[in-house]
Every structure is written in C-alpha cells, then in structure tokens.
Amino acid sequence: MKLILALIRRDLTLGMRQGGGVGTALGFFLTVVVLLPIGIGPDQALLARIAPGALWISLLLSVLLSADRIFQQDYEDGSLDIMTMGPVPFEMVALAKAVAHWLSTSLPLAVAAPLLGFLVNLEPAAILPLAVAMVLGSIALSLIAAIGAAVTVGLRRGGLLVSILVLPLYVPVLIFGLSASQPGAAPGLTAASLLILGAITLVSLVVSPLASAAALRSYLT
Amino acid sequence: MELNAKDLTCERGGRIVFRDVSLALAPGQLMQLTGPNGSGKSSLLRLIAGLNEAQTGSVQLTGGSEDLTIGQQAHYVAHQEPVKSALTVEENLAFWRDFLGGGDVDEALDAFDLSRLASYPAGLLSAGQKRRLALARIVLVPRVLWLLDEPTVGLDTASLERLVRVMATQLDGGGMIIAATHVPLGREPDQRLELGRAP
C-alpha cells in the first residue's frame, strides 16, 4: 500500500510541476463553457435547460484530452519496465496511475464544473446534484480513460484513437450522470441514476486495472 | 543461488533473433554479453528479466525466494533512463526507493558522485549524469541479479571507475551480473557469451 501511495504521490507531483495535464484540461473546460453561451445566444431559459448536459460533455472531453498521457511518459522512458519488476502487482500500478489521473485532473474538473455553471445559467438547485454525480462519475471517467491510454500507449499521437475507443464506454456514464443531475426529475430517478452510476464506477474499478495492465504488458513484451 | 537459462529462442516481429541460447551463472560471477547490433543482447536481458516472453526454453533462478519472480529479484538497466525531468535527482531516487522497497538514497547518490546534484531538477542533467542517476538505482535497492544493457554509454572515465567499483561490490557480495557491452569492465568477466554466431 505504501508503495502504491509513493507512485500516486510521484504522479501528482509530476502533474503539478509539469502543469500539462491539469492546466490543459482545466483550460479546455473553461474555454468550452465560456464559448458555449456566446455561441448559443442569450436565451436564458434554453441555457438553463442544456446547462447540465453542456457541463457533462465538457467534463468528458476535458478528461479525454488529458487521457493519453496517463502511461505515455513512463512507457517511453522505461519506468514502466521497472515497475513490472517491482514488488507490487502490475494491476495495482495501473490502478494507481488511474487514481493519480483522477486526483490530478478529473476530480478538480468535477468540483469546478458545477461552480462554473453560472456561465451557462445553471439553476442553483442543480449545483449539488450535479457535483455529486460528477465526482462519482469522474472516477469512472478516469478509470476508463486509463484503459484507452494503455491500449494506445505505444502509438505516437494516440489521442485520436483513445477518443474513439473510449467514447462508447463514456456514453453510459454520460446518460446516467445526466439523469442523476436533473433537479426537477421524479424523486426516485435521481437516486436510481446515482446507483447505476456507482455501479458503473465499481465495474470500471475492477475491469480497468486488469485491462490496462494486460494492454501495457503486451506493449512491453 | 544460481541462474539457469535453457534453450532460449527469441522471436521479434516474426524474425528469429537467436535460437537455443543457454547460460548458467553462479553467485559472484560476471557475464559479458557481446554480439553485433541486432543480435539480441537486449532481448536476452529482457527475456531473463521477464519483460519479454521466450518462444521456447525457460529461465530459472534457483535458491532465491520462491514467491518472487526473477524480475523482482533483478535490476534491469536499459538504454533509456527512467528519470523524470520534473523531479529533482534526490526525488527520482526516493521514488524508486519507496516503490522498490528499502535502500539509502544518500549512499546511492554518493556511489555515483551525485550528492552535489541532489537538489537539481533531473531535467538539467547531462546525458552522462542521467546515466549515473539511472545506475544509482541499482545501488539503492539490493538485488541479487543485475542485468545491464550498455551500462557504460555516456560515462566519463571517473564514472566508469565508479561503476566498476560498484560492480565489484555486487559480485563480492555474492551477486550476479550480466552486462551487454563491448567496453572492458575493469575486470576479466567470468564468462563470455557471444550472440549472433551460427549455432
């Protein structure tokens, strides 16, 4: 466990110092949210209606944008080789790197998104449900992104492929995340959607380390 | 403790790189691996480390810990340096200490004369200094088998002497080293293995 924490801590430090991941993702997110109301026009009722969806899509795309970096550098400089020779199962290494991505990119975005909602006229009543759904959903987003990043780690400019591979897997997160963050929905719907979102997150928590580790191994050999 | 490899065949991208390579290494022995470019020196080292799979044959480390793979008891120093430029020299080593378990960072820095650079970002290091940092890892965490792929590339004379000294300590302590290099390693290797010759 201590070893895993060391890896997560290193990845967070790297993320902070290089600024690449968090900065790019946050900047992209901000750009989309700022441009959206300008593009759509000043119809406040329309903006309020599409606000949760717009924020979710921005979150999704921002996470995707930074996804291909999860394993890339460690693969290129041979760190991953050494990590397979460590005392920790490689699946845990893959999980740790996904967790580091979540902590450094997805979580800050998920927290910031509802607060930036005022830019798209998000109803105040929707802020809390949106924040809860996004924080929960962002875990799944990072875990799924890790699979895509692992599958394309040996490819230069794998970003496009990551998007294509990962997009279908993001659709369920988007659907249930969105229905969990509608403030005016039927009372049972929010809870049910959150539960399914939780289930998706748990499934990815199990599948992602296995799939990522298997994909990375096939590149390393 | 002994390393045994039997009838290893390595295939990369449909091409047989080498066929039926066998080797045996006893504690305290240094093996020098030579051969022309592309003869599979790196592939053999990766095979032993468990990073690649052999088409045929097997590698065994007898007398070691039963629960650990060979890779977990070995150090592998590759061509690229697993060095993060955004971390300082010391932080780079501290991570590997935490991740691989145990070891004294200061001692490892000292072994390759990196103490004065400890608080430098690794991105500012020269190629040779990066090499030394990568090599410091093998001193940091004690492991019985060292697999060194061209360890001397980029090293100056003084650093080469340090490497020779570090290798001597490893061998005297009952460790084993396989080094793929054409440079003299300061001592007569106990064994030589030349790849790329017709069997």
Q: Distance from B183 to chain A by nearest Cα, in Å?
A: 23
CA B150 to chain centre: 9
| Averaged confidence pLDDT in chain A | 89
Examine residue B153 and state whether it is found in any structural domain, yes or no. yes
- Verify whether the Cβ–Cβ distance A77 to B82 is below 8 Å: yes
- What local confidence, expressed as pLDDT, does residue B199 receive? 44
- What local confidence, expressed as pLDDT, does residue B51 receive? 86
Strand-pairing partners, residue B121, are: B88
Which DSSP symbol is given to B88?
Answer: B
Q: Is B100 on the interface with A (CB under 8 A)?
A: yes
- What local confidence, expressed as pLDDT, does residue A190 receive? 86
Among A32, A41, A18, smallest CA distance to A65 is for A32
Question: Between the CA of residue B165 and those of B112, B171, B173, what are the distances in Å?
Answer: 10, 10, 12
- Verify whether the Cβ–Cβ distance A17 to B99 is below 8 Å: no
Which DSSP symbol is given to B160?
Answer: H
Examine residue B179 and state whether it is found in any structural domain, yes or no. yes
- What local confidence, expressed as pLDDT, does residue B107 receive? 86
pTM given for the model: 0.89
User: How far apart are the C-alpha atoms of A43 and A148, rounded to whole Å?
Assistant: 38
ipTM of the shown complex: 0.85
Q: Distance from A62 to chain B by nearest Cα, in Å?
A: 23
Segment B154-183 shows an average pLDDT of 90
Q: Is B142 on the interface with A (CB under 8 A)?
A: no
The pLDDT-based confidence of A21 (bands split at 50, 70, 90) is low
- What local confidence, expressed as pLDDT, does residue A20 receive? 63
Q: Distance from B65 to chain A by nearest Cα, in Å?
A: 12
Instruction: Note down the domain range covering B149.
Output: 2-194
Assess whether pLDDT exceeds 90 at residue A211. Answer: yes
Interface of A with B in 65-84 (CB under 8 A): 73-74, 76-79, 81-84
Q: Which two tokens mark A79?
A: 């760190």
- What local confidence, expressed as pLDDT, does residue B179 receive? 92
Q: Distance from B68 to chain A by nearest Cα, in Å?
A: 8
- Verify whether the Cβ–Cβ distance A82 to B76 is below 8 Å: yes
- What local confidence, expressed as pLDDT, does residue A173 receive? 95
- What local confidence, expressed as pLDDT, does residue A16 receive? 81
Among B39, B47, B43, smallest CA distance to B145 is for B47
- What local confidence, expressed as pLDDT, does residue B154 receive? 86
The pLDDT-based confidence of B197 (bands split at 50, 70, 90) is low
Segment A33-57 shows an average pLDDT of 90
- Residue B190 three-state SS: coil
Segment A108-127 shows an average pLDDT of 88
Kindly report the number of other CB atoms within 10 A of residue A54's CB atom: 21
Assess whether pLDDT exceeds 60 at residue A32. Answer: yes
Segment A169-184 shows an average pLDDT of 89
Best probe of the A interface among B17, B45, B51, B150, by most A CBs < 10 A, is B51
User: How far apart are the C-alpha atoms of B154 and A35, rounded to whole Å?
Assistant: 51
Assess whether pLDDT exceeds 90 at residue A203. Answer: yes
Examine residue B107 and state whether it is found in any structural domain, yes or no. yes
- Verify whether the Cβ–Cβ distance A14 to B86 is below 8 Å: yes
- Verify whether the Cβ–Cβ distance B82 to A82 is below 8 Å: yes
- The model's pLDDT over A145-165, given as tens digits with 9 standing for 90+, comes to 999 999 998 887 777 888 888
- What local confidence, expressed as pLDDT, does residue B198 receive? 45
User: How far apart are the C-alpha atoms of A193 and A191, rounded to whole Å?
Assistant: 5
Segment A5-9 shows an average pLDDT of 89
Examine residue B36 and state whether it is found in any structural domain, yes or no. yes
Q: Which residues of A touch B99 (CB under 8 A)?
A: 3, 6-7, 83, 86, 88
User: How far apart are the C-alpha atoms of B159 and B128, rounded to whole Å?
Assistant: 9
Assess whether pLDDT exceeds 80 at residue B178. Answer: yes
- The model's pLDDT over B67-124, given as tens digits with 9 standing for 90+, comes to 888 888 889 998 888 888 889 999 999 999 988 887 888 888 888 888 898 888 988 9
Best probe of the B interface among A4, A77, A218, by most B CBs < 10 A, is A77
Examine residue B142 and state whether it is found in any structural domain, yes or no. yes
- Verify whether the Cβ–Cβ distance B87 to A74 is below 8 Å: no
- The model's pLDDT over A73-97, given as tens digits with 9 standing for 90+, comes to 889 888 999 998 888 889 999 999 9
Examine residue B167 and state whether it is found in any structural domain, yes or no. yes
The pLDDT-based confidence of A134 (bands split at 50, 70, 90) is very high
User: How far apart are the C-alpha atoms of B80 and B93, rounded to whole Å?
Assistant: 16
Q: Which two tokens mark A97?
A: 């790197």
Q: Is B99 on the interface with A (CB under 8 A)?
A: yes
Assess whether pLDDT exceeds 70 at residue A19. Answer: no
DSSP string, B4-55: EEEEEEEEETTEEEEEEEEEEE-TT-EEEEE-STTSSHHHHHHHHHTSS--S
For residue B93, give every residue at least 6 positions away whose Cβ sits within 8 Å of its Cβ, in sequence order, or none: B105, B108, B109, B133, B136, B137, B140
Examine residue B199 and state whether it is found in any structural domain, yes or no. no
Q: How many structural domains is chain B composed of?
A: 1
Helix A187-220 crosses helix A90-101 at what angle (to 10 degrees)? 130
CATH number at residue B164: 3.40.50.300
Q: Is B83 on the interface with A (CB under 8 A)?
A: yes
Are A153 and A113 contacting, i.e. CB atoms less than 8 angstroms apart? no
